[in-house]
């Protein structure tokens, strides 16, 4: 998921530091809150949380119904600031375009 916004990078940088679930009017039932370096037991299968340590969202996969004896896997996502590459042909004074992206990150 990606949103393109015409704003300053300083304003958008704040979004990369916040819990994206705080932007929702209603949080999903499987959101367990903000935790600090959570373990799989703290999150629980099939649930989301915000890791305050590295400012990432974590989803703990629930393979219970699909694969027997499958190890639990935590998927991590972060909101990252994006900026379009500099264009040498851009007229002087033209606005810069910044955006934020919600992307999966590797462990």
Q: Using one digit for the tens of pLDDT, what is the confidence trace for 83-99?
A: 766 666 666 666 666 67
The H or E element containing residue 40 is: helix 40-43
Containing structural domain, residue 46? 2-105
pLDDT given for residue 52 in this prediction: 95
Please tell me which residue, 67 or 78, carries the higher pLDDT value. Answer: 78
- Between CA 83 and CA 70 the distance in angstroms is 39
pLDDT given for residue 64 in this prediction: 57
Task: Report the pLDDT averaged over residues 10-20.
Answer: 75
Question: How many folded domains does the chain comprise?
Answer: 1
- Between CA 78 and CA 101 the distance in angstroms is 8
pTM over 0.75: no
- Between CA 51 and CA 58 the distance in angstroms is 7
- Between CA 9 and CA 99 the distance in angstroms is 8
Would you place residue 6 in the very low, low, confident or very high pLDDT band (cuts 50, 70, 90)?
very low
pLDDT given for residue 94 in this prediction: 65
Please tell me which residue, 103 or 47, carries the higher pLDDT value. Answer: 47
Tens-digit pLDDT profile for residues 29-74: 999 999 999 999 999 999 999 999 999 999 998 865 555 555 668 8
């Amino acid at each position: 998921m990606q949103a393109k916004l015409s704003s300053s990078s300083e304003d958008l940088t704040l979004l990369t530091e916040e819990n994206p679930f705080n932007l929702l009017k209603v949080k999903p039932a499987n959101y367990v809150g903000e935790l600090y370096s959570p373990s799989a037991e703290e999150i629980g299968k099939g649930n989301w949380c915000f890791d305050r340590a590295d400012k990432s969202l974590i989803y703990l996969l629930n393979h219970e119904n699909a694969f027997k004896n499958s190890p639990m896997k935590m998927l991590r996502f972060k909101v990252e600031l994006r900026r379009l590459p500099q264009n040498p042909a851009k007229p002087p004074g033209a606005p810069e375009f910044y955006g934020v992206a919600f992307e999966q990150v590797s462990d």
